[in-house]
Amino acid sequence: VVTGQINNSGSPFLIKTASSGGAAGTALNPEQWLNKHFEPVELTGDLITDLGADPDGDGRDNLMEMAVGSDPNVPQVEWDEPYTVGWEEVSGFYYLKLTVNKQAVQQVSYRVEVSGDLTNWMSGPDATATLIDDVSTLSVRDLVAFEAGVARFIRLTVEY
């Protein structure tokens, strides 16, 4: 989750508070991806290899690790996020923007969501503008501009 606000100088800044790419290649299915990252003995239980499991304890489950190309056995740290978060200026206004390098994974869908309160998340053309959506990159920006004292948040979700 990323939040953006206007500081005293009127410039936007970002604070990374939690997570959610890599290059496209030969598309893997989840079973192939799990076999690539775990030993056969680890594949016998779902505590490690379930797509909702987080064996490295970094807060990113296997599905997200698979979708963004990170290693499920090595905890990622905040500054090692596999996406880029920033802002885009349009007609003098600043908007949160998230760009992720999609992985070649079969049947995984990526969605960028925005919120003003961390409770009600929205996506789609009424809430976000898709700047790039091709086989290797997804770049989306919020449709609500930064304003002084108004919080905005952006996050990546993936589904299989």
pTM over 0.75? The answer is no
Q: Hunting for tokens 């604070």 — which residue is that?
A: 15
3-class SS of residue 47: helix
Coil, strand or helix: which one is 123?
coil
pLDDT tens by residue, 73-103: 888 765 566 778 889 999 999 999 999 888 8
What pLDDT sits at residue 144? 95
Which residues make beta-bridge pairs with 96? Answer: 87
Q: Is the pLDDT of residue 69 over 90?
A: no
Comparing 6 with 16, the larger pLDDT belongs to 6
**pLDDT value at position 22?**
39
What pLDDT is attached to residue 130?
A: 96
Q: What's the gap between Cα 95 and its chain centre?
A: 17
Tell me: the pLDDT tens digits for 116-143?
Answer: 999 999 999 999 999 999 988 899 999 9
End-to-end CA distance of the chain: give it in Å, rounded. 20
- 3-class DSSP state of 36: helix
